[in-house]
Amino acid sequence: MRQYTVAALMLCLSAGIFAQGAGDLQRYTTHQPPGTARFGAMGGAFTALGGDMSSITINPAGIGVFRFGEVSLSPSVEMRDIRTSLAGEASSGSHSGLAVNNVGFILVNEVDDPYWKSVNVGVTVNRMNTYNDQIVTGGIISLDNTLMQSWVNQADGIAPDNLPITDAGLAYDAFVIDDVEGSAPTRYVGGVQQGLMSQRHTVNTTGRMTDIGLTVGGNYDDKFYIGGGLGIVTSYYDVELETTEEATQPGTGDLRRYTFRENMNVEGVGFNLRAGFIYRITKQFRIGGSVQTPTTFRMQDNYGQGINTIRGGLDPISQSPDTDFIEYRVRTPWRYTFGVAGVIKGKAILTGQYEFVNFRGAEYRPANRRSGLASFLDNANFEMQEFYRAQHAFRGGVEFRMTKKVMARGGAAFFPNVVPISEGAISGRMDQVMVGGGLGYRERAWNLDLSYSVMRFHEPYRVSGAGSTQELQNTLGVLTLTFGFRI
């Protein structure tokens, strides 16, 4: 009977997209909210500006800038395109869908004080990140680059009875790999031992990270604004992966084709606290800053695998172990922002923002002391400390008043790569760049804003440990419409 533990099971999950490692900590740590249409059009540079429903998630002092109560809704259309090439064969995957970037309300409470103008409270729901992707790769590859070969490498030296029930053990049960009779220690070979194989690999992911913010702030003499809040963060991530490999020159009795499937669902809830200030130095110039505590998540993963095999002249084989789950905690790093904003001749607003997040501060923690995951999570934490670095991100935006009621906006954001030791020659193109623009129309009792933003970046990807590194070219476009009403 094969032996396995939860930790061993997670160690054996084949594609890097599944194993709980530093890459997953990066997913929980990265915040790139599309926000309201105004927020997205101006690059999200609102630390010193405030007065926007999405801005108070970045700097809660922005709630003090509101002079009237407001309710707003920001639906959007997301369009994602991922292109890659395997063995000279180009592939692409795309995903589009409707989303809600932001919804919330602000209540302004004027106070009877010569200096304190108001104490405001608000409830906002902001989408902090989107995980809706589709990756498609395919081509003719050598045996050394197949998923089958990665299972051979994984199994070598382990007796068949001691293989895990997933990955190499699953491949062994389905006759994708086999042990060499009489070898000591045990050696394995693939079901295809000559020629080439065609490979098709697809990954479909869905999910989001959502921040529910409870914020309170004040306006002191129209010069100093402070605020604080509680963030309740929910994360949902679902991924389905399918890899099919087929021999191009099958022989009698040899493996002809197999399809391997993996699926994982990750859900969790976390909490953080944040505080900030905005100080109006002059009527035309202001500064702002904020700090956010680490978000502590409690996560649960549900996962499963399955494989179908076709061999020449033999009945098909289907294997699917029972699904299982693990529980653990995630702690993200502290976050800091600083911003400046200025008004030019009453016609234009210029704003800039700096963000600091030390990704090395993210870590996994076992859900309980008896968890068998402790040593594995320690290895993931070591990887985060060893290979990741702090991120110094920059945002900037401009708003120009075309008429008394119509505004034109533009902005950009730059998020440097946080993995200095990266795959191949693409490291210089892993920085993420976002540009946006839009229009706004404002009446006394309501406003309507429209924006479009696009982000582009590259990243490395491998189907398996034995596979060659591919370059994914990512493009994410977001079209946002915001309805706002004074209350």
pLDDT digits (tens, 9 = 90+) for 106-126: 999 999 999 999 999 999 999
Indicate the domain borders of the chain: 6-68+87-389
- pLDDT at position 435: 97
Reported as a pLDDT band with limits 50, 70 and 90, residue 59 is very high
- Are 192 and 148 in contact by the 8 Å Cβ rule? The answer is yes
pLDDT reading at 421 higher than 80: no
Distance in angstroms (rounded) separating the CA atoms of residues 211 and 67: 24
Higher pLDDT, 466 or 422: 466
Place of tokens 């003090």: 64
What is the arithmetic mean of pLDDT over 227-256? 89
User: Is the CB of residue 166 less than 8 Å from the CB of residue 159?
Assistant: no
**What is the per-residue pLDDT for 322?**
67
pLDDT at position 371 is 59
Instruction: Find all residues with CB under 8 Å of 315, minimum gap 6, and list them.
Output: none
Task: Name the 3-class secondary structure at 371.
Answer: coil
Q: How far apart are CA 48 and CA 55, in angstroms?
A: 9
Please state the φ and ψ torsions of residue 355, each to the nearest 5 degrees.
Answer: -125, 140
Per residue in 339-374, pLDDT (tens digit) is 999 999 889 999 999 999 999 999 988 887 655 677
Which pLDDT belongs to residue 5? 34
Strand partners, 318: 308
What pLDDT is recorded for position 21?
Answer: 62
Q: What average pLDDT does the chain have?
A: 88
Contact 91, 482 (CB under 8 A): no
Distance CA 289, CA 337 (A): 5
In this predicted structure, which of 138-142, 155-159, 351-355 has the lowest mean pLDDT?
Answer: 138-142
Task: Please enumerate in sequence order all residues whose Cβ is within 8 A of that of 60, keeping only pairs 6 or more positions apart, or say none.
Answer: 213, 215, 216, 217, 227, 228, 229, 274, 275, 276, 290
Can you give the length of the chain in residues?
487
What pLDDT, on the 0 to 100 scale, is given for residue 459? 82
- Cα 445 to its chain centre, rounded Å, is 37
Token pair 């997670």: residue: 10
Determine the average pLDDT of the residues in 286-308: 94
